[in-house]
């Protein structure tokens, strides 16, 4: 294979202390091939993406290595030569097109400026590319500014901008994160098609294994700034040989069948926190004394690379029980609903966002509310908790009429209905300690002041957080820990109903698994839960029944298995078809 891109020993360090963000990365890539780079927060994958264009963010520096495209080492170039190489050889697509496109410049200007030569010819080329990516190519469209486009259109423009100069390599950094699944499916299809048709080699960086599995021929698994496994996609899914790859796979939920999600304990090391041993050692189930020394990257048959001394054992043990030992609970007719909503109509200003939405929630069950952005699912949960002002309808808690706004509700109702927010970084007051946040909730409902400390400790214990952390401030906790504390605060109020709004969408998949399992446990203890999400795989993992929202209307409802196995509404069918799955090779 003649390599289009050859990366050797790419090392990127933090300016301040020379700590390695990316540590000696090497791989090669042929024309038309798509290589996935997968890893969680802090794995260094985004730094790699930029490094492939010989670029480092302020505060970081490329300390060594080679990035050779078509025989040209980008890292050896300076000034005009480097600019020239970035125009001709490599292109980059950023995660968020809303910030990556210049808001002040017309699309035409931004597309034209990456091309040399006469504008007339270049415009022809631009129009062709625009049609390829499925966008209009007329002058009126070219005169638009980025904010006049939808998110999906913006990302198409970003991709068009990347391929218009016919680069040999294109680097995509989480290009579909933040897009709805239907848009994501189209963008992924486009990337595959462009690489195949134009012979472009692509690096596709993502935190989402299912996305990478869909688009990539081979996958690099990164952890703590290191390549831990480089493997053909099929082989990764079928027989991971690195413990981290294996653990990551076990944490990914599936929309097709209910699985037990296995979280990875502990947390990933930050830059500069790594020691001489194996970087995954502290969280690894296979770790032995041999792991105190940094394992070498072993080349294996089939072009595979693994950095683990116990790869054979890992592969042998690879089958993690995936089928859920906890089946979905059938609807228990005898138990009366604890929360009922009837005929909810909600508005934002003059615009109606919810139309006659009704639902019922029984104790010990989880109801998922599913929808894409704009479906009104978050508004629904804000109505139920009493934070949304403009809505009508009827609510009943435990059979008793519940006033619509939180202000009008009796204290008992406010205690029994608790809420956990999507954003773990906003849900706790940064100026309060964790313990004080929980104690504030207790004080509100007139708990015995002398017992507060004990109750706080107990609540933290229930979400598997050490009571010692009660003295900490939120800034000292990880995102997963904060989300647990937010759940603990809700639990301390002894709620009957817990409303969870996308509580895992800001978390890494390994952390998400632990939060989901925690919530599942609480449901088993008799809590009623309303879980708002856009992710069907999470619905399958946690919910007993499901309500599908589209543009403010309930389009489908029923038991989870029934709805996800045999969706009846075209919207649900489409959603399910676009939801990516890890191919079930593991059996």
Partner 1 sequence: MAVELLAAPAPSRSTRRARAVALAVAQGVGTLLVVSLLIFLVTQAMPGDVARVVLGTRATPETLATLREQLGLDRPIWEQYGTWLWGVLRGDFGTSLVNGMPVSELLAGRIRNSLTLSVVAMLIMLPISLLVGIVAAQRRDRAFDQGFLGTSIVVNATPEFVTGTVLIALLGTTVFHLLPPVSFIPPGDSPLAHPEAMVLPVLTLVVSGVMYLGRLVRIAFIDAMSSEYVQTARLKGLGTPRILARHALPNALGPVIPAASLVAAYTVGGVVVVEYLFAFPGIGAALVEAVNNRDLPVIQAIVLLIAATYYVLNLVADLLAGGEPQGR
Partner 2 sequence: MSAPPRTEAVAASREPSARGAGLRRLWAAPRVRWGVLLLAATTAFAFLGGLLAPFDPSQPVGAPYAPPSPGIWLGTDQLGRDVLSRVLHGGAYLAWMAPTSAVLAVAIGAAVGLAAAYWRGWVDTLLMRAMDVVLAFPGILLTLLFVAVFGPLPWLLVTLVVVALVPGVARVIRGAALPVIGREYVQWAKAVGMPSATILRTELLPNVSSPLFVELGVRLMWAVGILASMSFIGYGIQPPAADWGLMVSENRTGLGIQPLAVLAPVVMIVVYTVSGNLIAEGAARVIARTEGRAE
Closest approach of Cβ 419 to partner 1, in Å? 14
With CB under 5 to 8 Å by kind, the binding choice for 85 among partner 2, partner 1, none is partner 1
With CB under 5 to 8 Å by kind, the binding choice for 475 among partner 2, partner 1, none is partner 2
With CB under 5 to 8 Å by kind, the binding choice for 568 among partner 2, partner 1, none is none
- Chain residues binding partner 1 by CB under 8 A are 50, 53, 55, 57-58, 80, 82-88, 91-92, 94, 96, 98-105, 109, 113-114, 147, 150-151, 161, 348, 351, 353, 373-374, 376, 378-379, 382
With CB under 5 to 8 Å by kind, the binding choice for 94 among partner 2, partner 1, none is partner 1
Cβ atoms of 307 and 242 closer than 8 Å:
yes
182 sits near partner 2 (criterion: CB under 8 A): no
Identify which of residues 89 and 507 has a Cβ nearer to partner 1 in the complex.
89
122 sits near partner 2 (criterion: CB under 8 A): no
Identify which of residues 14 and 88 has a Cβ nearer to partner 1 in the complex.
88
Q: Would you call 370 helix, strand, or coil by DSSP?
A: strand
Closest approach of Cβ 414 to partner 1, in Å? 21
Cβ partners under 8 Å of residue 504, min gap 6 = 483, 511, 512, 515, 516, 533, 538
CA–CA dist 278, 286 (Å, integer): 11
Share of the chain residues as helix, strand and coil, in percent rounded to the nearest 5: 35, 25, 40
Among 189, 411, 454, 585, binds partner 2 (CB under 8 A): 411
CA–CA dist 304, 302 (Å, integer): 5
Among 20, 127, 207, 274, binds partner 2 (CB under 8 A): 207
With CB under 5 to 8 Å by kind, the binding choice for 430 among partner 1, partner 2, none is partner 2
Sheet of 497-501, strand order: 417-420, 497-501, 528-533, 366-370, 545-550, 553-559
Cβ partners under 8 Å of residue 331, min gap 6 = 362, 365, 544, 545, 559
For the chain, the residue count is: 587
Q: What b/e readout covers 207-232, taking b as 16+ CB neighbours within 10 angstroms?
A: bbbbbbbbbbbbbbbbbbbbbbbbbe
Give the residue among 389, 379, 485, 380 at the shortest CA–CA distance from 441: 485
109 sits near partner 2 (criterion: CB under 8 A): no
Identify which of residues 126 and 260 has a Cβ nearer to partner 1 in the complex.
126
Closest approach of Cβ 398 to partner 2, in Å? 18
Exposed/middle/buried for residue 551 (C-beta within 10 Å: 0-12, 13-18, 19+) = middle
CA atoms within 13 A on the CB side of 463: 27
Total binding residues toward partner 2, as defined by CB under 8 A = 60
Mark residues 419-458: x for contact with partner 2 by CB under 8 A, - for none. Answer: x-xxx-xxxxxxxx----x--xx--x--------------
Binding piece for partner 2, criterion CB under 8 A, among 86-94, 122-130, 446-454, 498-506 = 498-506
CA–CA dist 152, 158 (Å, integer): 10
Element (H, E) at 27: strand 20-29
Closest approach of Cβ 536 to partner 2, in Å? 12
Backbone angles phi, psi at 29, to 5 degrees: -145, 135
16 sits near partner 2 (criterion: CB under 8 A): no
Closest approach of Cβ 269 to partner 1, in Å? 27
Q: Note the residues at the interface with partner 2 (CB under 8 A).
A: 41-42, 46, 95-96, 174, 177-178, 180, 207, 270, 371-375, 377-378, 385-387, 406-407, 409, 411, 414-415, 418-419, 421-423, 425-432, 437, 440-441, 444, 472-476, 478-479, 489, 493, 502, 505-508, 534-535
């Amino acid at each position: 294979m003649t390599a289009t891109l050859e990366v050797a020993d790419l090392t990127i360090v933090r300016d301040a202390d020379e700590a390695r963000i990316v540590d000696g990365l090497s791989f090669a890539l042929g024309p038309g091939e798509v290589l996935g780079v997968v890893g969680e927060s802090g794995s260094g994958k985004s730094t790699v993406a930029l490094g492939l264009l010989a670029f480092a963010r302020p505060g970081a520096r490329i300390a060594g290595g080679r990035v050779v495209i078509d025989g040209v080492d980008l890292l050896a170039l300076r000034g005009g030569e480097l600019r020239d190489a970035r125009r001709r050889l490599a292109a980059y697509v950023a995660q968020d097109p809303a910030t990556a496109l210049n808001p002040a410049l017309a699309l035409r200007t931004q597309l034209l400026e990456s091309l040399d030569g006469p504008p007339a010819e270049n415009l022809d080329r631009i129009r062709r590319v625009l049609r390829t990516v499925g966008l209009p190519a007329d002058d009126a469209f070219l005169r638009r500014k980025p904010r006049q486009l939808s998110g999906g259109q913006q990302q198409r423009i970003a991709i068009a901008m990347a391929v218009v100069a016919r680069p040999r390599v294109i680097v995509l950094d989480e290009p579909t994160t933040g897009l709805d699944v239907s848009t994501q499916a189209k963008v992924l299809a486009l990337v595959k098609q462009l690489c195949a048709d134009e012979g472009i080699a692509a690096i596709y960086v993502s935190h989402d294994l299912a996305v990478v599995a869909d688009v990539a021929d081979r996958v690099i698994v990164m952890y703590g700034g290191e390549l831990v496994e480089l493997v053909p996609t099929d082989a990764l899914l079928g027989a991971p040989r690195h413990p981290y790859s294996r653990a990551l796979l076990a944490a990914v939920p599936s929309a097709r069948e209910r699985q037990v999600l296995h979280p990875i304990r502990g947390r990933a090391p930050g830059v500069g926190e790594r020691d001489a041993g194996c970087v995954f050692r502290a969280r690894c189930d296979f770790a032995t004394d041999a792991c105190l020394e940094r394992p070498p990257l072993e080349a294996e048959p089939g072009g595979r690379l693994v950095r683990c001394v116990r790869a054979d054992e890992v592969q042998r043990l690879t089958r993690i029980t995936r089928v859920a030992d906890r089946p979905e609970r059938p609807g228990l007719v005898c138990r009366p609903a604890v929360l009922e909503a009837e005929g909810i109509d909600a508005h934002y200003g003059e615009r109606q966002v919810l139309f006659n939405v009704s639902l019922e929630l029984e104790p010990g069950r989880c109801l998922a509310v599913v929808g894409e952005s704009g479906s009104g699912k978050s508004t629904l949960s804000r109505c139920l908790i009493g934070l949304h002002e403009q809505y009508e309808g009827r609510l009943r808690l435990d059979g008793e009429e519940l006033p619509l706004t939180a202000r009008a509700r009796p204290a008992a109702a406010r205690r029994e209905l608790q809420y956990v927010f999507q954003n773990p970084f906003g849900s706790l007051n940064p100026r309060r300690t964790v313990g004080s946040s929980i104690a504030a909730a207790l004080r509100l409902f007139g708990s015995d002041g002398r017992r507060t400390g004990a109750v706080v400790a107990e609540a933290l214990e229930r979400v598997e957080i050490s009571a010692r952390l009660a003295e900490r401030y939120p800034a000292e906790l990880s995102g997963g820990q904060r989300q647990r504390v937010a759940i603990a605060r809700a639990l301390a109020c002894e709620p009957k109903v817990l409303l969870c709004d996308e509580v895992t969408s800001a978390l890494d998949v390994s952390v998400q698994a632990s939060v989901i399992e925690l919530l599942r446990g609480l449901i088993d203890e008799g809590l009623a839960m309303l879980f708002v999400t856009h992710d069907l795989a999470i619905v399958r993992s946690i919910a007993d029944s499901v309500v599908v929202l589209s543009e403010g209307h309930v389009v489908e409802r029923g038991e989870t298995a029934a709805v996800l196995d045999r969706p009846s509404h075209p919207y649900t069918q489409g959603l399910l078809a676009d939801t990516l799955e890890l191919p079930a090779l593991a059996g």
